[in-house]
């Protein structure tokens, strides 16, 4: 990380690869973030030329905003809480559709210091949505709040990168 930047060198490297591939394929991305609070978008927009590929993002930190802004089913949130794989999938799909992007990427989980929705600190769900499918990964991360958030962004960008590579083959 450079001084005063929340974006790690790994985030910057992954984001550069994502933006390069999206630009070359004429594709776009949008992000829906909870525990990362905008860090996915911060990582993506550090790349020169990101405006050609980044549509925008929604930070839906509050559970009710996941339903109101991203279309996450209220019944799912009521039954499982916000820290649930299906919520990550619905967030990714919702942001992709609402912001009219080729791909949607989403993060939801518990960065700490306290458990949430009955889930321990470090429980994270990330998702990438394309028109054809949505891929979800569940992570069990360790470390302090900053480390969990940074690793979540890095893993999200890596998942997005892999999904973009599949699409352009």
Nearest residue to 19 via CA among 60, 59, 61, 48: 48
Other beta carbons within 10 Å of 21:
17
Residue 82 corresponds to which tokens in the numbers above? 């916000």
Residue among 87, 96, 30 at smallest CA distance from 62: 87
- Is 126:106 a contact under the CB 8 Å cutoff? yes
Domain-by-domain residue ranges, the chain? 9-168
| Sheet with 103-109: strands ordered across | 54-59, 29-33, 103-109, 123-129, 134-140
Contact 90, 71 (CB under 8 A): yes
pLDDT tens digits in sequence order for the chain, 169 residues long: 555 678 899 999 999 999 999 999 999 999 999 999 999 999 999 999 999 999 999 999 999 999 999 999 999 999 999 999 999 999 999 999 999 999 999 999 999 999 998 999 999 999 999 999 999 999 999 999 999 999 999 999 999 999 999 998 7
Of 3.50.30.30, 3.30.420.40, 3.40.50.300, 3.90.950.20, the CATH number of 9-168 is 3.90.950.20
DSSP 30: E
Question: Distance (Å, rounded) from C-alpha 13 to C-alpha 29?
Answer: 17
Which residue in 101, 63, 105 sits closest to 84, CA to CA? 63
Q: What is the pLDDT of residues 94-128, one digit of tens each?
A: 999 999 999 999 999 999 999 998 999 999 999 99
Q: Which residue has the tokens 């480390």?
A: 147
Of 37, 110, 99, 43, the residue nearest 70 (C-alpha): 99
């Amino acid at each position: 990380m450079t001084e005063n930047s929340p974006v790690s060198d790994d985030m910057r490297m992954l984001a550069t690869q994502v933006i390069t591939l999206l630009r070359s394929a004429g594709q776009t991305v949008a992000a829906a973030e909870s525990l990362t609070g905008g860090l996915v978008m911060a990582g993506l927009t550090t790349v020169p030329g990101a405006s050609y590929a980044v549509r925008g993002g929604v930070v839906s930190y509050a559970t009710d905003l996941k339903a109101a802004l991203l279309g996450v089913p209220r019944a799912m949130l009521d039954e499982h809480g916000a820290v649930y794989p299906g919520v990550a999938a619905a967030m990714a799909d919702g942001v992709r559709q609402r912001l009219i992007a080729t791909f949607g990427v989403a993060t939801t989980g518990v960065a700490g210091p306290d458990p949430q929705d009955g889930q321990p600190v470090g429980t994270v769900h990330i998702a990438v949505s394309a028109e054809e499918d949505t891929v979800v990964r569940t992570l069990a991360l360790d470390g302090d709040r900053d480390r969990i958030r940074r690793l979540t962004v890095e893993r999200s960008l890596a998942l997005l990168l892999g999904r973009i590579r599949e699409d352009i083959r």
